[in-house]
Structure formats: structure tokens, C-alpha cells
Amino acid sequence: MNNFDWDKGFCLDFDLETAFSKTAEATKRRLSQMKGMFCDIRATEKILEKEDPVIYEFYELGCPERAGDLAFGTTILYPGKVGSEYYMTKGHFHTILDTSEVYYTLDGEGCMVMENMEGDTMERPLRKGEVLYVPRSYAHRMVNTGDTPLRTFFVFQADAGHDYGTIETKGYRKLIVEKDGNPAVVDNPRWI
């Protein structure tokens, strides 16, 4: 899988221009893999009749999932919209709910949509050169509100796991949509 020595350390070639390591494993998420995540089902189907765009891709190093290690990598979230809703990542809770995560924005602009199990929601900007701290127990999803790729570096506890299922059925309570030419936070109609 890789030649990284997680017990003795390593250096790697990390290209900030493309926001991925030449030795990382890539995972691509296409619109067809996120069909039910965008609210406008008709807009999703219309796009898929013509193409199946890559919404985002992420690169990670295959870190062992054990306590004490840190998993890290990069995400590239492309610009675009499905209906009025901006492209976004699937988003997730961590399986170990009390896990935090750190994101450093390498390029682009957007926001992080967060919510906890009790329904508290937050939206925080993602701007080049800034760090965002996602508090423990919050599901989180990136949204690209710009017209260039949003590139971020992330790091979290390696044994934290990912829980995508909890939010897949209804999504997040808040959506980021284009309204009058600008990003706006609106209530998700699936939660009303």
C-alpha cells in the first residue's frame, strides 16, 4: 500500500499547487455517488443525463487506524452547483464522536457546515491561509462557494473512523445556496 514508517516517522513530497502528495491514494466522489445528498433531485437527474462530474476528491496516506496516530491528507472540492446548492463534500460524524478535526485552507473559498446530534448548527468560512478547528461531536461538510477549486489540508485522530450514514438520509439542517448571486444559509426543507 505505501512505504511510510508510521512508527519512526517520514517525510514526503507534498505539492501545494495541486494540494496532494505524489504518494497519496486518491478517492474521487462523483455526483452519481451523492445523488440523494443534494436537495434538488430534478437538477441532479438533469446533470446526470449529460455527465457525471467529479464533485470532490481527497488524498490520504493510508495511516493505520490506531490510537495515537494522526491521519492527514488533502481535499479538492470543485466549484459548481446542483440547482442553487453549491458543490459540497458528503460530510460525516466521526465514529469516535469526541473527535475534533483541523482544516487548513490552501486555496479557494467556501465554508464548513457543522452540526451536532442535539441540532446545534454552525457555518464557518474557509479562506486561503486560515485554519478551521471542527470541535468534537460535530458532523462537518465543506461547501465551495467560489469559482475555483477549494483545496484544504486536514488532520484528525487516526482511529476516529467516519460515520456517513447518520446524516445521509436527511442531510444537514442547514444548506448553503446561491441567492441573489451570493452564498446564503437556508434551512434544509427535509428538516422542516
Q: How do residues 70-99 score in pLDDT, each as one tens digit?
A: 999 899 999 999 999 999 999 999 999 999
Question: Please, which residues have CB within 8 angstroms of residue 76's CB and are 6 or more apart in sequence?
Answer: 18, 19, 20, 56, 57, 58, 149, 150, 151
Q: What is the predicted pLDDT for the residue at 1?
A: 41
158, three cell numbers: 487516526
* Residue 163, strand partner residues: 93
Per the CB < 8 A criterion, the answer to whether 162 and 94 are in contact is yes
**CA 5 to CA 154: how far, in whole Å?**
20
Structural domains of the chain sorted by starting position, each given as residue range(s) with its CATH number in brackets: 16-191 (2.60.120.10)
- pLDDT digits over 108-157, tens only? 999 999 999 999 999 999 999 999 999 999 999 999 999 999 999 999 99
- Confidence band (pLDDT; 50, 70, 90) for 166? confident
pLDDT at 21 over 80: no
In this predicted model, which residue has the larger pLDDT, 16 or 38?
38
Percent of the chain predicted with pLDDT > 70: 93
Q: What is the predicted pLDDT for the residue at 147?
A: 97
